[in-house]
Amino acid sequence: MAAVFIHLSDIHFGQEKDGGRVTINDDAKERLLEDAAVEIAKLGTGATGIIVTGDIAYSAKYEEYAKAGKWLDRLAECVGCSRLDIQMVPGNHDIDRDAITPVAMFHLDSVREKGDNMLDMLLDDEVQREALYARFAAFRDFSGGYGCDLDVGGVYSADVAVAVAPGRTLRFVRLNSALICSRKDDKGKLILGARQRVFEAIDGEEMVVLVHHPLNWLQDSGEAARFFQSRARVIISGHEHFPSLNIKAVEEGCDLLMIAAGATAPDDIDEKYTYKYNILTFEWEEGADALAVTINPRTWNFEMKRFERDNPFLEGRSERNVLGSPYFRRGVPSVAPVQGVVDEPPQAQPVANPVTGSKEVDLSMSEDVRLVRLRFFRDLPEGCRRRILVELGVIPADLTDRLDHTIEQRFFAKLVAQGRKGELSAAIDTAILKLKSGDDE
């Protein structure tokens, strides 16, 4: 059962400063849709999902995510996966720099200076914690619509699993390397924090870490690397706009593959930086009871104005890499598929974070509820969502307090639990029509 993912990073919706650049970048994004459709069709199966390792937007504004959502919907359709099967982590451009107050700046500088102890103190205080995450307001709404919620306790998010064979599962671990990003960040100054560095290994599962910044951007890179090489099998990152691939033999029978993506839409196009994305295929290698990762790197041909295979990126390596996978081997012995029986394409399944347990939103919610959630949080700005909650009698019209993302998630869950999904969906339809006609914000 091959699990196939489109891997994007640094799409930067909203970065263009003039109409000509908008046109050029939009053309490249259109060609990416065409190229991805052709390459996936060659595999004879639809994609399992889409991975975005940060910098979806450029200034973390609602309108930038609105454009991104429409384009990602089209990509999902082109590669044959559900638009709900999109995973993402935040990048430094997914923080709203306008929301960095002097007090927030002081706290961010203090975390850089004092490390984990200061970060833990902020995360343990509810008021300070929400102030820390206020920079991610638009991203939290957008990613929350997909179920990729930021864990405001500063813990990693791991709630998607994909079976690649009976008893052999990939668990995707999402990290927020932008947690202490500010207006300008220097390499080696960011911090993941202990709550993200430590994650539980599970027999029969190999972990794929999704993170925006490569490890060399972190103060705690050494300790993070020790946990990752012990617990994870693949690290997928972005940020530097130039792709790289490294496979480390951690110890006998244990490997770590690190792949950094080029930018899907870099700031500037030159001889080194251009439009790039990857197609990643994850499979179970029966003989070695191991995870095999096939990389199809795609890059922009400047002369022909189209995407093609990026052979120099592989640097002579095989496109298919079999990784020593100790946690697969520790699982219950797997049974190979019966010859002649065609496996169904693997599906991404929500699972609880083994550290934090169940989250605010029920991870087992049905697909139609997940679609309503996507439209409510991704497609509507905060003011529209608030009016719907007032219209449905969830909050009083004279409430002046701002509703943070966590509270809105609870109200959403409450409406669904009351059997009012249909009312909520109809209200969303009305709000979206008003937005399109310009009658609403």
262-301 tens-digit pLDDT? 999 988 787 778 999 999 999 999 999 999 999 999 999 9
Using only C-alpha atoms, the chain has a radius of gyration, in whole angstroms, of 21
Q: How far apart are CA 101 and CA 334, in angstroms?
A: 53
Token code pair at residue 188: 């080696």
One-letter-per-residue 3-state SS of 318-372 = CCEEEECCHHHHCCCCCCCCCCCCCCCCCCEEECCECCCECCCCCCCCCHHHHHH
CA distance readout (Å), 17 to 29, 72, 241, 408, 424: 17, 22, 19, 34, 37
Residue 312 and residue 202 in one domain:
yes
What is the per-residue pLDDT for 357? 42
Q: Do residue 321 and residue 386 come from a single domain?
A: no
Average pLDDT over residues 327-345: 70
| pLDDT score of 189 more than 60 | yes
Residues 156 and 199 in one domain: yes
Claim to verify: residue 149 and residue 32 sit in the same structural domain: yes
The angle, 0 to 180 degrees and rounded to 10, between the axes of the packed helices 421-437 and 405-417 is 130
Cα distances (Å, whole numbers) of residue 145 to 70, 85, 329, 380, 381: 13, 11, 35, 10, 12
> Residue 199 has what pLDDT?
84
Same-domain check for residues 295 and 390: no
pLDDT in tens, 381-414: 999 999 999 999 999 988 888 888 888 999 999 9
Structure tokens at 309: 């295979």
Q: Which domain holds residue 373?
A: 367-437
- What is this structure's pTM? 0.92
Query: Is 79 part of any domain?
Result: yes
Q: What is the distance, to the nearest Å, from the Cα of residue 32 to the centroid of all Cα atoms in its chain?
A: 19
- 358 domain-assigned: no
Amino acid code (one letter) for 367: E
Say what the pLDDT of residue 281 is. 98
pLDDT of residue 349: 57
Residues 76, 183 within the same domain: yes
pLDDT band at 56 (very low <50, low <70, confident <90, very high): very high
Instruction: Determine the average pLDDT of the residues in 155-175.
Output: 90
Q: Is the pLDDT of residue 302 over 80?
A: yes
Amino acid at site 261: A
- 340 pLDDT above the threshold of 60: no
**Mean per-residue pLDDT, 113-129:** 90
Q: Dump strand ranges (E) for 65-202.
A: 86-89, 157-165, 168-174
Residue 17 exposure: Cα atoms within 13 Å on the Cβ side: 2
- pLDDT(352) > 60: no
Tally the domains of the chain: 2
Residue 146 is part of a domain; what is its CATH number? 3.60.21.10
pLDDT higher than threshold 90 for residue 236: yes
Residue 181 located in a structural domain: yes
Q: Mean of the pLDDT values across residues 62-67?
A: 96
